[in-house]
Structure 1
Amino acid sequence: MATATTATDFDVRRHDSFGLRVQHLLHSNPVLGPLAVLIVAIIAFSIVNARFLTATNMSLVLQQVTVIAVLALGQTLIILTAGIDLSAGAIAVFSSILAATFCTRAGLPGVLALVLGLGFGTLMGAINGFLVTRIKLPPFIVTLGTLTIFFSLNSVVSGSETVRGSDMPGIMTWTGESIPIGNFRLTYGSIIMLLLFAYFFYALSRTAWGKHVYATGDDAEAARLAGIQTSRVLFSVYTVAGLLYAVGGWILIGRLASASPNVGTEYNLDSITAVVLGGTSLFGGRGSVLGTLIGALIVGFFRNGLQLAGVEVVWQGFAIGLLVLIAVSLDQWIRKVKT
């Protein structure tokens, strides 16, 4: 005997159907969720405080976000392979101290000192990659160890002293200079950051290397059986991330107008936060650098907006932490989508 369909059954099926459509939409377009959060945050904070959307404040937020965004870009590459890097901030700060030391104490030309600083940052990333791919150590343990090592060496090399920007060649602090666009000021560091995101957006979406990064993170064994050199992919990812962290260190010198060994302790978590809020899965294989850029902007806008609203610093951290938990929970739900 046929069972009559009740209005309640119809409502449940309609609700489930809507939920499935949203789930599939976010699975195929992981940037949409973070973008919606960013738009809502901008609208809400602009209503709370009229100064929020001013050109001066927007340029300040972009400057604050730039370093974290570059570090998060390198972090994205690693998380896409189902890894994680806790040494991002340590590499950035140590490479900046090395570059500053080369041009002040060793007397090297600014360009050469900068190249050496970037080279050592790349080498530090390669060390992480070697330990992960050759020694087969877990990325969490490897980068936790190198985090401590690099920060310790940073203190030894610098003597815990800050190198002033006035003592360094102009190329070292150039990233902090800006181009005025009305009341908005766009720093060269921010331009470098945007160009890096554009390049890696292309590299991950249009090149064989990018497809191999996604495949390795999605299922390393399946990728290996398909002929992908997964160890080489992982090594390249950690090495490139090291270079990006070093570029972040260079931008940091321009941002602070100095090379300080006493900064960067929070950069590791901030970079991971930006990646997670940007929709990149901590389980690897899903996400985009565009989402990471949006995630970094979310962190910057939330902190700036809450500060303008008079919210205490401790509650600003609470809000960011809550956003991370929501983002990870959403990722878990999206990964359950049936394809």
Structure 2
Amino acid sequence: MSGTPAAAKLPPRSWKANLPPIGTLGPFLALLLACAFFATQSDRFLTGENFSLVLQQVMVVGVIAIGQTLIILTAGIDLSCGMVMALGGIVMTKLAVEMGLPAPLAILCGIGVTALFGLANGLLVTKIKLPPFIVTLGTLNIAFAITQLYSNAQTVTDLPPMMTWLGGTFRLGGTSVAYGVVLMLAMYLGVWFWLRETAAGRHVYAVGNSPEATRLTGIATERVLLGVYVMAGVFYGIAALLSVARTGVGDPNAGQTENLDAITAVVLGGTSLFGGRGLIVGTLIGAVIVGVLRNGLTLMGTPSVYQVLITGILVIVAVAIDQLSRKGGR
């Protein structure tokens, strides 16, 4: 009898087995192709300052997309994210400027409001069993109305320095990097670890794959869903702070396209709209793809309407690929 362990007799893993998941590899290759194309069209594209600008332009949508990813992983969707973000920004700026609250407390109040909207969405989805699409379509309009009424449709200016600090930059290898970008990347890293390495994170995938089967294993699916919507609300509040920091004002008209931009980033990043499949890293890549497309087309002098057209086509292609891959896996 040989003393060699049985595990040692297993054949080595093939090179294909060592490749990243296709859900991440596909978006990453798309990003590389886009960068290669725009590099041939503009000398300014492949510069550190330009890439820093792209990340600054996507940091708000990128953080919103974290919350959107968590919801889509559970087979839901949140149309209200952009307007909830705008409401959070108005609340924190008005409390600081007009009510005189200390900036940290005002920021927490703004994040608290967005978390409450997440809680309301979660309760309507879990307790009354309303479809997430309908629920968040309703709360989108509610958040928009409250934002306009509370702000009197007026921009809030003269913000305390603490609210705009994340919009500042520091030098890294000769390139200006925004503090908000660092915060966004740190949050992606934290959520990646949570989804990958914790039981609570794996429960999110389980609920998206099969809520009933997950419930039968003893996991409280309603609690998982409720937690996901509240967490998403918190991310929208952080995105509100980043938006305020980047623009330097509390804008009641912010957030009107961020919901679609966030969904676009999630879909382009390979997360399935049917739930249970996707990687948070893919969402970051998807957000950067959108930023690179808009930046590159702008450098080429392409009208903005074509940027919207190309983004729409990419979303349809990404969803079609997801649908075909699901059918092929059956």
Q: Same fold (TM over 0.5)?
A: yes
Q: How many residues align?
A: 316
TM-score, normalised by the number of residues in structure 2: 0.93
Instruction: Tell me what 2:36 maps to.
Output: 43
Asked if structure 2 preserves the Cα contact closer than 8 Å seen for 1:26 and 1:334, the reply is no
> How many angstroms apart in 1 are the aligned matches of 2:246 and 2:231?
22
- How big is the shift at 1:338? 3.5
Asked if structure 2 preserves the Cα contact closer than 8 Å seen for 1:58 and 1:184, the reply is no
Instruction: Tell me what 1:244 maps to.
Output: 235
Query: Greater shift after overlay, 261-270 or 174-183?
Result: 174-183
Instruction: Tell me what 2:73 maps to.
Output: 80
Does residue 113 of the first structure (1) align with residue 106 of the second (2)? yes
Q: Deviations over 1:60-101 (max 9, x none)?
A: 111001000000010000000000000110111100100001
Asked if structure 2 preserves the Cα contact closer than 8 Å seen for 1:27 and 1:334, the reply is no
Instruction: Tell me what 2:127 maps to.
Output: 134
Query: Greater shift after overlay, 24-33 or 326-335?
Result: 24-33
Does residue 263 of the first structure (1) align with residue 254 of the second (2)? yes
Task: Give the gaps of 5 or more residues in structure 2.
Answer: 1-15
- How big is the shift at 1:58? 1.1
> How many angstroms apart in 1 are the aligned matches of 2:180 and 2:98?
25
Does residue 284 of the first structure (1) align with residue 284 of the second (2)? no
| Aligned partner (choices 64, 74, 99) of residue 57 of structure 2 | 64
- How big is the shift at 1:50? 0.9
Task: Give the gaps of 5 or more residues in structure 1.
Answer: 1-21
Alignment of structure 1 residues 140-289 onto 2, 5 Å: 140-164=133-157, 167-289=158-280
> How many angstroms apart in 2 are the aligned matches of 1:161 and 1:118?
20
* Structure 1 residue matching 2:273: 3-state secondary structure: coil
Instruction: Tell me what 2:5 maps to.
Output: none
- Relative to 1, partners in 2 of residues 1:252 and 1:303: Cα closer, same or farther, differing over 3 Å? same
> How many angstroms apart in 2 are the aligned matches of 1:28 and 1:99?
40
Instruction: Tell me what 1:330 maps to.
Output: 321
Give the partner amino acid of 2:219: I
Percentage of identical aligned residues: 49
* Structure 1 residue matching 2:100: 3-state secondary structure: coil
Asked if structure 1 preserves the Cα contact closer than 8 Å seen for 2:169 and 2:178, the reply is yes
Asked if structure 2 preserves the Cα contact closer than 8 Å seen for 1:99 and 1:114, the reply is yes
Instruction: Tell me what 1:312 maps to.
Output: 303
- How big is the shift at 1:29? 3.3
Instruction: Tell me what 2:6 maps to.
Output: none
Give the partner amino acid of 1:123: L
- Relative to 1, partners in 2 of residues 1:188 and 1:27: Cα closer, same or farther, differing over 3 Å? closer
Instruction: Tell me what 1:101 maps to.
Output: 94
Asked if structure 2 preserves the Cα contact closer than 8 Å seen for 1:77 and 1:241, the reply is yes
- How big is the shift at 1:255? 0.7
* Structure 1 residue matching 2:23: 3-state secondary structure: coil
Asked if structure 2 preserves the Cα contact closer than 8 Å seen for 1:73 and 1:197, the reply is yes
> How many angstroms apart in 1 are the aligned matches of 2:328 and 2:215?
25
> How many angstroms apart in 2 are the aligned matches of 1:218 and 1:192?
30
Asked if structure 2 preserves the Cα contact closer than 8 Å seen for 1:87 and 1:144, the reply is yes
- Relative to 1, partners in 2 of residues 1:223 and 1:70: Cα closer, same or farther, differing over 3 Å? same
> How many angstroms apart in 1 are the aligned matches of 2:101 and 2:21?
50
Q: CA RMSD for the aligned pairs?
A: 1.7
* Structure 2 residue matching 1:186: 3-state secondary structure: strand
